[in-house]
Structure formats: structure tokens, C-alpha cells
Chains A and B, each alone.
Chain A
Amino acid sequence: MKNIWKIALKELKSYFVSPIGYVVLSLFSVLSGWFFFNHAQRFNSLVTFYMMSRQPETLNQLNLNTFVIVPMFQELLMLLNVFLPAVTMRLIAEEKRQKTIELLFTSPLYTSEIILGKYLSVLLFLAMMLGLTAAYPVILFVYGRPGPEIIPIITGYAGLFMVGACIASVGLFASSITENQIVAFAVGLSLSLLFYIISMPAPAVGGIMGDILNYLSLKGQFNGLANAFIDTRVIVYYASFSFTWLFITHRVMEGFRVR
């Protein structure tokens, strides 16, 4: 456990020694802020419109959760899909290219400790990314009359974190198969995107196959959480998804050693 923490700390430091930490955090805030601003703005126009046209029933159906927070979460998910592979791309690829992997592999560390340490560092970074976006719900709580409900916000964030963890595990795998960071980024991005949109043909396919595709989709699993439906199957899905990719990464690293 101590060793995992030592590796994680080293990685976390290196995000902020290189520009990558600052670039990712600031661009992520700019883009997510843009999404938030536009949803809040649209909500405002809708409220004004229905008030002017005196339709109290419709007006009552408007709420900040459905019209601002849920769509924003959907977009944050898409942003994570792009940004997280950029965070993970160097984690193992760079160790291979700089040959520092020889140091790690000849130190008294288990390969699993190296992988989990690096994974933990991404999770902490992900928490920072999501932490920055917490400003938006806070704004809604301060200025919204009535404000949003808090439970769907909490479950939504938990969902974002879990999907982020899944993307990070895929990104880590992509980083383990190459020495080239660009290749790692492309593979990580494509794989996580694939799991994001894998359910697209589900309605057309239908039947069991359609159910499977729906079940595999990172996006589909997230929708429930964003609306405060907590389903243990979803948590099992996320945990086994991450575990599977970390396990494959472990195999790849051990294989690299034998070669």
C-alpha cells in the first residue's frame, strides 16, 4: 500500500511539473463552464417565456436538475472521454521510452503496485477536475429559486467519477502497449469512445444482443445515476470494467518484462 502511494505521489507531482496538469485543468474548466453557461442561459429564457405566456403547469415542470445539471453532466462525460486519455497517455509509455521502467522493474515493487499507483494518481487528478466543476451547482444553489435537488447532483458526480475511473483504466492500458504517447492517446481515446457509443445500434439490433450492447455502454450506465437511480448492477459494471482493463494492463507489463 505504501509503495502504491509513493508511485501515485510521484505521478501526481509530475502532472504539475509539466504543463499537462495546468493545461488539462484549465481547458476542462473553460469548456465545462461554457456548457454550464449555455444551459443556464437557455433555462432562463424558457422560464421567462412560460411566465410571459402564462402557462403555470409547464412552468412547474421546469427545474434546474433536468434542464441544467443533467445535460451538463452528459457533456462533462464527453469531455472526460477526451481529456482523460491525455492525462493517462504518458503514464507507462514515457517510462518505457525514457527506460525508467528498468528502475521500477528492478526495485522491490510488484507490477500490480506500479499499475495501481499510477491508476490512483489519475483518480486523484480526476477528482480535482470534477472538484473544479462543483462551482456550477453551487451557483445554482445560491441563485436558483427554487434551487436544484441535491441527491441527483451527488449521485451524478459519483457516476462521473466512476465513468472517469473506467476511462482511466482504458487509458492506462493504452499507455502500456506503446512507447509513443500519441499512439497511447489515440488508442485510449478510441477505446473509451467506443465504449461510450457502443449502444448506438442497440435499438436496431434488439433482443438479447441489444440488451448486451446497452449494458456495455458507459453512457447508458450513467444516465440512471444522473437521475438519482442507484442500481447495484451499475456499480458492479463500473468496478468490473476498470478491474478488467487494469488486469490486462498487468498482463501486458509482465509480458513486456519477459520479452
Chain B
Amino acid sequence: MIRVNNLCKYYGDVAAVDHLSFTIEKGRILGFLGPNGAGKTTTMRMMSCFMPPSSGSVSINGMDIATQSIMVRKFIGYLPENPPLYTDMRVDEYLEFVAGIKGVQQDRIPKQAASVKARCGLDDVSRKLIGTLSKGYRQRVGIAQSIINDPEVLILDEPTIGLDPKQIAEIRTLIKSLAGERTVILSTHILPEVSLICDDILIINKGKMMFMDSMDNIRGKHDLEQLFLKYTYGGNAG
């Protein structure tokens, strides 16, 4: 379970994230929506322990991201907006390295790497240099690195950006299959995707929380696009 409490991040005087509070139950997939610059990436960076919050707190399975940072990171998988890939490494080598620094036990690394490769469809490219891979494959390697430590919480920042429709569908299936035991937080701009994958919706704008509800409550009653525009542009955009 993830509990976000009055989370704030200031860049100088500008509040990128402004008193954000919400809770995500275990095993749910949260769709994290908002226009560009709303503070999605900043929030995810704080949740993944990349940067400390200016104030407020996040607890993941009861552990605080600021005081128990190193512990928390063992339970988190994070795919940033730009997949953090070493272009001069081979896929196998890269996954092995990530597994190592994520604290996967040495004897479990080969098995773990083989299983994420199969899951992400990387078996054919495992000997290739990451620098030579297409964007779709790179994205998959990015997802593979985020799940290599079998994380309980998975944070994905725009995992389908720049992919073609078939790849998007594949990644969607992959994310669906990853949920269940895991809690997934997913930011995206593709609204149909959200209604297909997510259990909960959170809309933020200018760092503030505008709307949060479960997909079951929204389905049938509201149109997601209408909802998004209403809470981000006051309903009169477009």
C-alpha cells in the first residue's frame, strides 16, 4: 500500500507538486493523469526515491521514502520517462548489472533475467547492443529493468510514449499481467489506454490533486476525456 501525505516539491518559489495526498491499495493499477508540466514526473521521482520531497511524506508498505530510503528502493521498480539505458551494453549484460545493483541475490540473477526477458519479449535481442535497438525494444528493456527485482511497487512514467499501436497493445498486456501482486502507478496521456488498464484514476493539475476515483465508478457515468478536460482546463479547452 502506498500512502502519500501532503507531498510538496518546490523549485525555487514555484510549487511543482502542491500538497498532494492520496492512497493506493495493494494490487491496484493507478492511472496518473495531467497535462504536461502538471507535476506527474516530479511526483513519481519522489516516490521512487530519486529526489527527496520539500515537505510531506510518502510511505510504501509502511516504510518512509525519506528515512528508510535504501530499504524502500529494494521494493520499487521505476521506469523514468527516458529509459535509463547504457547504450554500450548488451541487453543481457545490462539486465545482469541492474539486477546486481538492485540487490537481487547473485545466484538468482540468471533465472530472474531469463524470466523478465521472456516476459518482455527480449529473447531475440539479448545479445544485441542496446544502442542498436529500436525505440520499441528500448522501451521493453526499460520495463524489463524495472521489474527485474520483482518489485512490489512499479512506477512507470509514460511507458508507451513513442510506440506504434501494436507495441502499445503489447505493453498494455504486459502491464496488465504484471499487476495483481504488484501495485502499479502509471502516467500517460493516452486516455483510452487508461480506461483499459487502470483500476483507479488520479488527475492532477499545476501540482494539485483535482480528482480521484475508481474506474468502476467512472465507467458508464462519465466520459474520461470530458473528466480530464473539466479538471485540467476547466472544461472549455479543445
Contact A99 B84 (CB under 8 A): yes
Is B100 in contact with chain A by the CB < 8 A criterion? yes
Please, how many angstroms separate the alpha-carbon atoms of A101 and B82 in the complex? 11
A107 pairs with B97, CB closer than 8 A: no
Interface string of A173-184 (1 = CB under 8 A from B): 000000000000
The reply to whether B51 and A257 contact each other, CB–CB distance below 8 Å, is yes
Number of B residues near A (Cβ < 8 Å) is 29
Is A257's CB under 8 angstroms from B52's CB? yes
Cβ of B48: which chain A residues have Cβ within 8 Å of it? 106
Q: How far is the CA of A13 from the CA of B96 in the complex (A)?
A: 13
Verify A100–B74 contact, CB threshold 8 A: no
Q: Contacts of A99 on B, CB cut-off 8 Å? A: 80, 82, 84
Contact of B22 with A by CB under 8 A: no
Chain B proximity of A89: nearest CB distance (Å): 15
Flag A8-21 by CB within 8 Å of B: 1 or 0 each. Answer: 00100110011000
**A105 close to B (CB within 8 Å):** yes
How many angstroms from the CA of A55 to the CA of B80 in the assembled complex? 76
User: Does B233 reach chain A (CB closer than 8 Å)?
Assistant: no
Question: Do A107 and B101 have beta carbons less than 8 Å apart?
Answer: yes
A105 touches B49 (CB 8 A): yes
Instruction: State the majority secondary structure of interface residues on A.
Output: helix
Residues 55 to 82 of chain B near chain A (Cβ within 8 Å): 70-71, 73-74, 76, 78, 80, 82
The answer to whether A128 has its CB under 8 Å from any CB of chain B is no
User: Chain A 88-124, CB within 8 Å of chain B: the 1/0 string?
Assistant: 0000000000111111111111100000000000000
Q: Is B98 an interface residue (CB 8 A)?
A: yes
Residue of A nearest to B145 (CB): A103
Closest CB-CB distance, A8 to chain B, in whole Å? 12
The residues in B between 90 and 121 inclusive whose CB is less than 8 angstroms from any CB of A are 93, 97-98, 100-103
B74 touches A108 (CB 8 A): yes
Q: Are A108 and B103 in contact (CB under 8 A)?
A: yes
State the Cβ distance, B104 to closest chain A Cβ, in Å: 11
Within 8 A of A (CB), among B115-152: 145
| Distance to closest chain A CB from B172 (angstroms) | 23
- The answer, yes or no, to whether A208 is at the interface (CB within 8 Å) is no
Contact bitstring A209-232, B, C-beta under 8 A = 1, else 0: 000000000000000000000000
The yes or no answer to A3 lying at the interface (CB within 8 A) is yes
Cβ contacts under 8 Å, B80 to chain A:
99, 102-103
**Nearest CB to that of B87 among chain A residues?**
A98
- Asked if B216 CB lies within 8 Å of chain A CBs, one says no
Kindly list chain A residues whose C-beta atoms are within 8 Å of the C-beta of B51. Answer: 257-259
Partner of A104, one of B45, B82, B101: B101
The answer for the CA separation of A104 and B50 in the assembled complex, in Å, is 9
Interface residues of A (CB under 8 A from B): 3, 6-7, 10, 13-14, 17-18, 98-110, 257-259
Can you list 12 pairs linking A and B with CB atoms under 8 Å apart?
A10-B86, A14-B88, A98-B86, A103-B84, A104-B101, A105-B50, A106-B78, A107-B103, A108-B70, A108-B73, A108-B102, A257-B50
Known contacts A102-B45, A102-B80; 17 additional CB pairs below 8 A are A7-B101, A10-B97, A14-B89, A98-B84, A98-B87, A99-B80, A100-B84, A102-B82, A102-B84, A105-B50, A106-B48, A106-B73, A107-B101, A108-B71, A108-B102, A257-B51, A257-B52
